[in-house]
Structure 1
């Protein structure tokens, strides 16, 4: 397969609390990179015309043009819905591909499948035995729903997906969508990548 070049931008979500890991997982070394975030960024950059990192604070030394490549969440809350609102307001594109920093094994072919199946939907997300709410394509039209959710103090991405036109795309390999939430997940992902 020839290398795809995706027109829509990519945003790597790297602003979580990492409470289960006990330290900031976005900054953990991974494979040949100094951090999980740098690994995701370098891995995905060749396939997207524009790639951004979303975070609460600037903690990334590897980003060369921070004013262009870094999207800082507004507000104090650690919430993926706040991050989505900030991203959709900041990016000049109708659709954006979202991936979390802690899913470093998602294949480019799978990303292509998600993007190719996203055109008639408000959101298109990956699904294995469970739904991967923050691995997929989100449309700017979701901003009204997101703002209404925040006004009502609702911060669950699953709630958003149930209340918009969402396409759930099935994938069979669980390990591809492993979430690096705890030390065991981190060690497993490092073993799988080596």
Structure 2
């Protein structure tokens, strides 16, 4: 049996979004057999990474202490650029795998490919029908670029990608990178994971 991959870089799960389209904090919604989407994402990724953190404005989670959370310094503005600035202030001189809490279907195989391809670039992110700006590897080399953007009041991740050494990695399955943004997405994702779990159970029964 092949050993699962183990990544010698840190993973940060972004959980500080506004969830305006969901109408409630999606990071706390129940998911599969987990009490929350955050706990599901954390538990499935933790075995594969040297270190793993959550990025959030506050500790709203009941399964982690503050040591595992990187607190966004700006409590009033919801900006991934500001979150990245805080992350790189804590995690200096390294590459980090970033993923949003609302993309629970990105496979370990795809994560492994992104990490493998990131060696010679500052940013390496996934691309299907669109660019998945916050699913990939980010180097602390971009800290200066982030600071310049903040000083200029620019908060678009796309701008960060365009102005740094960025590699886009194509993946064939758009569903794998689906975001859970609204109630319909949430319902569809629960149905999707239920079908997957049942399929896996069936395979185990037949094997």
Is this a same-fold pair by TM over 0.5? Answer: yes
1:66-85 maps to which residues of 2 (within 5 A)?
A: 66=66, 68-75=67-74, 76-85=76-85
1:18-167 maps to which residues of 2 (within 5 A)?
A: 18-63=19-64, 65-66=65-66, 68-75=67-74, 76-167=76-167
RMSD over equivalenced CA pairs, Å: 0.9
Deviation, 1:2, is 2.7
- With normalisation by structure 2, the TM-score equals 0.91
Bigger radius of gyration, 1 or 2?
2
List per-residue Cα deviations over 1:150-179 (Å, max 9, x = no partner): 001100000000000000000010110000
Look up the match of 2:202.
none
- 1: CA distance, partners of 2:128 / 2:189: 17
Look up the match of 2:204.
none
- 1: CA distance, partners of 2:105 / 2:180: 10
Distance 1:98 1:49, change over 3 A: same
- With normalisation by structure 1, the TM-score equals 0.97
| Secondary structure of 2:83 counterpart | helix
- 2: CA distance, partners of 1:7 / 1:92: 15
- 2: CA distance, partners of 1:189 / 1:107: 15
Q: Which runs of 5+ in 1 are unaligned?
A: none
| Secondary structure of 2:175 counterpart | helix
- 1: CA distance, partners of 2:123 / 2:3: 26
| Secondary structure of 2:8 counterpart | coil
| Aligned 8 A contact 1:8 1:93 in 2 | no
Deviation, 1:190, is 1.1
- 2: CA distance, partners of 1:99 / 1:5: 17
- 1: CA distance, partners of 2:49 / 2:19: 27
- 1: CA distance, partners of 2:6 / 2:92: 18
| Secondary structure of 1:50 counterpart | strand
Deviation, 1:58, is 1.0
Look up the match of 1:184.
184
Deviation, 1:145, is 0.3
Aligned length: 192
